[in-house]
Amino acid sequence: MWLVDVTEPAGSRDLAADLGAAVDECPGGTIQLWLHHVDPVSHHSAILAGFVPYRDLWQLRRLLPAASSELATRGIVDDDIAELISVNNRAFHWHPEQGGMTEASLRATMSEPWFDPEGLRLLHLDDRLAGFCWTKIHSDTIPKLGEIYVIALDPDFHGRSLGGPMTLAGLEWLCGQGIYDGMLYVESDNAPANAVYARLGFTQHHTDRAYRLTRT
């Protein structure tokens, strides 16, 4: 599979030319295209190049502080790694990127300069890891953005209305680090999650759209 990632689509003939060139260079197989901050013109350019949209990822934002979370969470320590991987993979068995976490992939992310073990908030209930809210601070933006990077609940704890409080726990931690703009990404068709985030005051900031084109 070939990947074309357009961070700032220009919405111009240049984009259409770039996409046409990418298609011409592909000897066969599938090309996946991501248009970030997609707009009607860039979407039209992708369609003209033969790409078919199949996935919308919404970025949502809200100002901080948010309401306090009633959940008691703590940061991650090394002994939590195996249990966190298990919860993540149970929660995201369906997800094209987040599913299939391994210790190697987790440790690779934890070695990134932005990683803070206190920003990976763990919730324990009934002597088990019930879920986690992993946050990320984007220090290269103006203003700085605090992201709910990953939020996961073990399926055994579904139905206990923990999604909202877990999100608030992450936002609370971010606000404690001097961050006043919160954001997250969510699948556009994830109605339960979007309902929770709407209740928490998030609104849509922009859409990133994925497309496919298959050449034989």
pLDDT tens sequence across 171-186? 999 999 999 999 999 9
Secondary structure of residue 58 in the 3-state scheme: strand
pLDDT of residue 16: 82
Spell out the residues 6+ positions from residue 188 whose beta carbon is closer than 8 angstroms to its own.
Answer: 55, 56, 57, 58, 194, 207
| Whether pLDDT at 130 is above 80 | yes
Cα–Cα distance measured from residue 147 to residue 144, given in angstroms and rounded to the nearest whole number: 10
Cα–Cα distance measured from residue 209 to residue 149, given in angstroms and rounded to the nearest whole number: 18
Q: Is residue 194 part of a domain?
A: no
Q: Is residue 200 part of a domain?
A: no
Same domain, yes or no, for 144 and 99? yes
| Whether pLDDT at 20 is above 90 | no
In percent, how much of the chain has pLDDT > 90?
81
Three-state SS annotation for 125-194: ECCEEEEEEEEEEECCCCCCEEEEEEEEECHHHCCCCCHHHHHHHHHHHHHHCCCCEEEEEEECCCHHHH
**Confidence grade of residue 1 (pLDDT, cut at 50, 70, 90):** low
Same domain, yes or no, for 87 and 147? yes
Same domain, yes or no, for 128 and 153? yes
34-89 confidence digits (pLDDT tens) = 999 999 999 999 999 999 999 999 999 999 999 999 999 999 999 999 999 999 99
Provide the residue range defining the domain that includes 9: 2-57+208-215
Cα 112 off chain centre by = 16
Do 58 and 207 form a contact (C-beta atoms < 8 A)?
yes
Do 99 and 92 form a contact (C-beta atoms < 8 A)?
yes
pLDDT of residue 216: 74
pLDDT of residue 29: 85
Q: Mean of the per-residue pLDDT values for the chain?
A: 93
Tokens of 39: 């707009």
Same domain, yes or no, for 94 and 130? yes
Do 179 and 137 form a contact (C-beta atoms < 8 A)?
yes
Q: Exposed/middle/buried for 5, CB within 10 Å: 0-12, 13-18, 19+?
A: exposed
Same domain, yes or no, for 80 and 167? yes
Q: Is residue 189 part of a domain?
A: no
**Confidence grade of residue 26 (pLDDT, cut at 50, 70, 90):** confident
**Confidence grade of residue 13 (pLDDT, cut at 50, 70, 90):** low
pTM for the predicted model, two decimal places: 0.91
Do 41 and 6 form a contact (C-beta atoms < 8 A)?
no
Question: Which of 12-26, 27-41, 194-208 is the least confident region?
Answer: 12-26
DSSP state of 196: H
Q: How many domains does the chain have?
A: 2
